[in-house]
Amino acid sequence: MPDRAETVDRIWERDPTVWTGADEAKWLGWLDEPRRMRERVGQLKAFADGVAADGLDTVVLLGMGGSSLAPEVLRRTFSARALHVLDTTHPTAIRALEAELDLGRTLFVSASKSGSTLETRSHTEYFWKKTGGKAAQFAAVTDPGSQLETLATERGFRGIFHGEPTIGGRYSALSPFGMVPAALAGIDVDALLASGEEMADRCRRGEGNPGYELGAAFGAGWSEGRDKICIADTEGGFGLWAEQLIAESTGKQGRGLVPAPGESPDGTDRQWAVPDLAGPAALGGEFFRWEFAVAVAATWLEINPFDQPDVQAAKDKTNEVLETGKEPALEDDSSIDELVAQAREGDYACVQAFIPPSDENDRRIAQIAGELRSRTGCVVTHGYGPRYLHSTGQLHKGGPNTGLFLQVVDDGGEELAIPGKPFGFRRLIRAQAAGDYASLKERGRRVARIHLEKD
């Protein structure tokens, strides 16, 4: 068991040997981000005031994974109805969002750390064309020197906000990737950051350190075989953000903690985690507490919590499918019955749904998850594709071979063109489904694919 005070001190000293001694020291900018971002609150508020003054009363965040999940949880937690988060490539969902919008009163925020995220760049081109290329209706959040920064500069976007290059996507909630959309949604970002800064101070302590205590529980539980983290539901869906943080940080080298929002903690392979949210502004502190906790837990697993070595696999397979110029068939493969028959003690099941996010589809996924839960006795997780590829996908491929993966697809709807691309959104999402399925099979994972039956 790692020494408490020594572990805390070494993390704050940026000592990479507390993990693996690789490049971890390069990715610890999140430790200082609450304080650093508080110095930019005035800039964020002035930008948001200018947007509102020009009559842009709706904001659409175009992002994936670390660029979309914190904004989505903030949107839900604060009931920010003027903020929409687009992190799907399903043409039906894109059309549905567009139908809701008054395009002339909407600000589009393209968010990508690398600046080259295929989904985000495709969304950006789509709405750039739809608005007639009105630069005053676009902003970018990206790392300095990225392709997206170049594009935004060339086109004269209304604003360009630089992320901190020493912060990885899943640790970016309290950086511009979370705070720019929050400010535009009218959320008190100073209160969020003050909560985060206070928690950062508490996470420096040897005793009474909330982040260390949570992380130590995760790590000790994992060493005892309790690798499923059952996260209590919150009104704002905190588990949606925590899923990526846990899965992408720890799911590698055949090890990993399996985040399971909303699942029962009753089981010998499970542990219970309750987000501590006394009020909406406490979300800032909770973001930091869980970030610190996962960094601590990684010292038990003896892995680098800041890399994602298996994420590229599905992207490469997607590109292979797209380069054929053909639309993948996505035929049914195996069945729920055959998948369930392969369940073993300590497994988890995962529903991977390449269908449009909606209340109705949430219900249908919940029904499928319920069937898997009752028939296997396993923890069941679920996510929409391609969102989960940027969230839990690392765990699925790089973590332990304990997953039962059920891919759910539909017919994709009518094609929707992506300006400047030889393929549209329908072909893209089908290629993403085919690519991930092939990647899982390549790694010897237990998989099945079914089509969603029409009501």
Per residue in 157-190, pLDDT (tens digit) is 999 999 999 999 999 999 999 999 999 999 999 9
CATH of the domain at 233: 3.40.50.10490
Which residues, 6 or more positions from 64, have their beta carbon under 8 angstroms from its beta carbon? Answer: 87, 112, 117, 119, 120, 386, 387, 390
Rounded Cα gap, residues 61 and 67, in angstroms: 9
**In a domain? residue 2:** no
Q: Is the pLDDT of residue 7 over 70?
A: yes
Q: Are 400 and 444 in contact (CB under 8 A)?
A: no
- In tens, the pLDDT along 239-273 reads 999 999 999 999 999 999 999 999 999 999 999 99
**Final residue belonging to a domain, choices 172, 187, 202:** 187
Query: Sorting pLDDT into bands at 50, 70 and 90, what band is 393?
Result: very high
What integer pLDDT is reported at residue 1 of this predicted model? 60
Tell me: do 92 and 151 sit in the same domain. Answer: yes
Which residues, 6 or more positions from 199, have their beta carbon under 8 angstroms from its beta carbon? Answer: 34, 210, 211, 284, 285, 286, 288, 289, 292
Q: Is the pLDDT of residue 195 over 90?
A: yes
CA torsion angle 420 425 427 428 (round to 10): 80
**In a domain? residue 306:** no
- In tens, the pLDDT along 79-106 reads 999 999 999 999 999 999 999 999 999 9
What integer pLDDT is reported at residue 312 of this predicted model? 86
Overall number of domains in the chain: 3
Q: What is the rounded average pLDDT of the residues 419-446?
A: 97
Q: Is the pLDDT of residue 369 over 70?
A: yes
Tell me: do 13 and 72 sit in the same domain. Answer: no
Residue 400, domain extent: 311-451
φ, ψ (nearest 5 deg) of residue 277:
-125, 90
Q: What is the rounded average pLDDT of the residues 199-204?
A: 98
What integer pLDDT is reported at residue 222 of this predicted model? 98
**In a domain? residue 66:** yes
What integer pLDDT is reported at residue 436 of this predicted model? 97
Q: What is the rounded average pLDDT of the residues 447-453?
A: 94
- In tens, the pLDDT along 311-355 reads 888 889 999 999 999 999 999 999 999 999 999 999 999 999 999
3-class secondary-structure state, position 350: strand
**In a domain? residue 122:** yes
- Kindly report the number of other CB atoms within 10 A of residue 345's CB atom: 11
- Residue among 406, 386, 384, 381 at smallest CA distance from 261: 381
**Final residue belonging to a domain, choices 187, 209, 242:** 187
Tell me: do 16 and 48 sit in the same domain. Answer: no
Tell me: do 272 and 316 sit in the same domain. Answer: no
Q: Is the pLDDT of residue 238 over 90?
A: yes
Q: What is the rounded average pLDDT of the residues 295-305?
A: 98
